[in-house]
Amino acid sequence: MNLTHYLTAIEQADTYMRYGKVLRVVGLMIESQGPDANIGEVCYIHSSNKLKKPVLAEVVGFNNEKIILMPYAEVTEIGPGCLVESAGTALQVKIGRGLIGKVVDSLGKPLDNSKLPKGLANYLTEQSPPNPLSRPTITEPIQVGVKAIDSLLTVGKGQRIGIFAGSGVGKSTLLGMIARNSGADINVIALIGERGREVKEFIEKDLGEEGLKKSIIVVATSDQPALMRIKGAYTATAISEYFRDLGYQVNLMMDSVTRVAMAQREVGLATGEPPTTKGYTPSVFATLPKLLERTGTSEHGTITAFYTVLVDGDDMNEPIADTVRGILDGHFVLDRRLAEQGQFPAINILKSISRVMNQIADKTHLDTAQKIRSLLAKYEDNSELIQIGAYKRGTDHEIDKAIAFNPMIKNFLKQDIFEYVTLEESINHMQKLLNGGAD
């Protein structure tokens, strides 16, 4: 038996435990003298109370050879001189098929305090995006199960979409519909910065029992520290990557990427970064592409990603919305005006786009979708004249056609929350509508 490998490992092993000590705590930041640790590594801060579990923290910066740490949990019973121990590695979570149907926190621990199933693998939460040349092109559509999307904004397997809306316009409801009706194998849903009340509500009402059976939910509520909210997004993405590498078609739904950016801003300001556009720090705009580029296609499987973007005051050009729109492969705009008129999902078709639809839809489908867009645009351009009665029928044939079709199109775009429609049915309904035979 060859023991050389084991003997070498014993010789190279460091048998000393090295600790640092806490010097000060300011707001979100803990400053310690030592131990040896690199950016991104996890450290344990040992309380003076031996009965308390060590506080988990991450190295986020350095200041005059002192280490700047940020905790994953609320800091209690931490004082000057508390011991700081380095784990020697970045954050890892346990991932596997046993997680399906579970609700976990940012560290991968079940929220119902149950034990994790056996047979899970350790996986780093921070991974590099796939090599651009190893990414297959998107060639197949995926069923989303929402008529307006499947017919007019068709999504491809491995596409990344932004869902842009103000508060209370139906983002979470739309995500629940996609999770239940989608043709993906597994859903990974990240609820970042949500109100605690909304988590159970989303699981029971929007997602439902059927949706939960093929979903893994990662939760980081708004009351948790900034680092926990950021890690929630990274953990959900890592879980998606794990299943993609096994060859699954995965749906990643993140609600919302804006709150991830806000958490990153908190961390950046605490570590001394200068605030730039609307108070966001430069690290926010460096973090977003790294996070969003990890999803999409790889040689093994696909991650079709839906990121909700909370736009302040319905301003679609605010910094985060603008940055995310530039990174992703399309965007769906939820319009408050349509929601007020009772159209759900309130997707504004004219302001929304799927950048890969031309590659994945056949010519008949594209032509039909384009004709319906033209009718919507024609009605929208002349809506004021039509509504005040200034337009006389017969003046313009195209406007007359738009007026005739508008009620049918509006009716087609509406969908009940629990209504199930396949991709083929959505396209057939749209084609019947244009031929005057829609239901």
List C-alpha distances in Å: 326 to 154, 306, 320, 323, 330. Answer: 19, 15, 10, 5, 9
- Residue-by-residue pLDDT tens, the chain, 439 positions: 578 877 887 787 766 777 899 998 887 789 999 888 889 999 999 987 777 888 999 998 888 889 999 999 887 778 888 999 998 889 999 999 999 999 999 999 999 888 988 889 999 999 999 999 999 999 999 999 999 999 999 999 999 999 999 888 989 899 999 999 999 999 999 999 988 888 999 999 888 888 899 999 999 999 999 999 999 999 999 999 999 999 999 999 999 899 999 999 999 998 889 998 888 999 999 999 999 999 999 999 999 999 999 987 667 778 999 999 999 999 999 999 999 988 999 999 999 999 999 999 999 999 999 999 999 999 999 988 888 888 888 888 899 999 999 999 999 999 999 999 999 999 999 999 988 654 4
* DSSP SS3 for 227: helix
From CA 142, how far away is CA 423, in angstroms rounded?
A: 8
Cβ-Cβ contacts under 8 Å for 203 (sequence gap 6 or more) = 103, 212, 217
258: helix, strand or coil: helix
Selection from 348, 352, 345 nearest residue 328 by Cα:
352
78 burial level (CB within 10 Å; 0-12, 13-18, 19+): buried
Q: Give just the sign of the alpha carbon dihedral 427, 429, 430, 431.
A: positive
The sign one gets for the Cα dihedral 89, 91, 97, 98 is positive
For 301-355, write each residue's pLDDT tens digit.
999 999 999 987 667 778 999 999 999 999 999 999 999 988 999 999 999 999 9
CB-based contacts of 82, cutoff 8 Å, min separation 6: 21, 22, 45, 46, 47, 48
Q: What is the DSSP letter of 133?
A: G
Per-residue pLDDT tens digits for 268-288: 998 889 998 888 999 999 999
User: In angstroms, rounded to a whole number, what is the distance separating the alpha carbons of residues 370 and 147?
Assistant: 15
Element (H, E) at 220: strand 215-221
The model carries a pTM of 0.91
Judge whether 192 and 155 are in contact, CB under 8 Å: no
CB-based burial label for 118 (10 Å; 0-12, 13-18, 19+): exposed
Residue with tokens 């034990």: 115
- Contact between residue 347 and residue 332 where contact means Cβ atoms under 8 Å apart: yes
Residues 6+ apart with CB under 8 A from 389: none
- What is 245-256 written as a DSSP string? HTT-EEEEEEE-
Place of tokens 């017919």: 151
DSSP string, 293-335: TTSEE-SS-EEEEEEEEE-GGG-TTSHHHHHHHHHSSEEEEBP
Please return the burial class of 432, using the count of CB atoms within 10 Å of its CB with bins 0-12, 13-18 and 19+: middle
Q: What is the DSSP letter of 127?
A: -
Among residues 46, 42, 69, 189, which one has the least CA distance to residue 125? Answer: 42
Tell me how crowded residue 133 is: count the other CB atoms within 10 A of its CB. 5
